[in-house]
Amino acid sequence: MRITKNQPTTRTLADLYRAIDRAHAVTITYLKPGETDPTVRTIEIHELRTASVKVRKGQLTGGGIVIIAMCRLRGERREFHLSGVQAYTVHRIGYLLTMPANTTYEVPEPAPVDDAQALFFYELARDKDDADYRPRRKLVQTDTGLAA
């Protein structure tokens, strides 16, 4: 059993990625936010993601790493935050559960072929992140505050 507070996060992530590559089950001791008693779960990790950062009341919340896995106790897909994992054990047991397929896919409408402007608006509407983008202020080439 590995205690996460006694090792760097990179070591924990390396072990979890190795478990994904080899399709080995992992038992975690997990403390949910706002609770005092940890739970022990055996999970089959399918993905590690970074959570989005949100600003609430002027404070940054979120961020961190999320473990997407199948929980053997419930038999369904669950998400666990890496910051809540107190200890883990990587087993040699293979995966037993199958990850459900994503059901949120929407079939896009066919692209217009007769009008160039209609095709332009179709492409803008298809990419939801950029469709409503308007800069908050005029961008000037000498402005170094936006440099990467």
**pLDDT of res. 100:** 79
Would 131 be classed as within a structural domain? no
Specify the pTM.
0.62
Pairing of strands 24-30, 39-50: antiparallel
3-class SS shares of the chain: helix, strand, coil, % to 5: 25, 35, 40
Q: Tell me the residue range of the domain where 19 lies.
A: 2-94
Residue whose pair of structure tokens reads 């940054």 in the numeric block = 60
pLDDT of residue 88 exceeding 90: yes
Residue 56 sits in a domain of what CATH number? 2.30.30
CA dist 21 and 18 (Å) reads: 5
**Could you tell me whether strands 76-81 and 65-71 are parallel, antiparallel, or unpaired per DSSP bridges?**
antiparallel
Percentage of the chain with pLDDT > 70?
A: 72
Region 54-70: mean pLDDT is 77
Domain count, the chain: 1
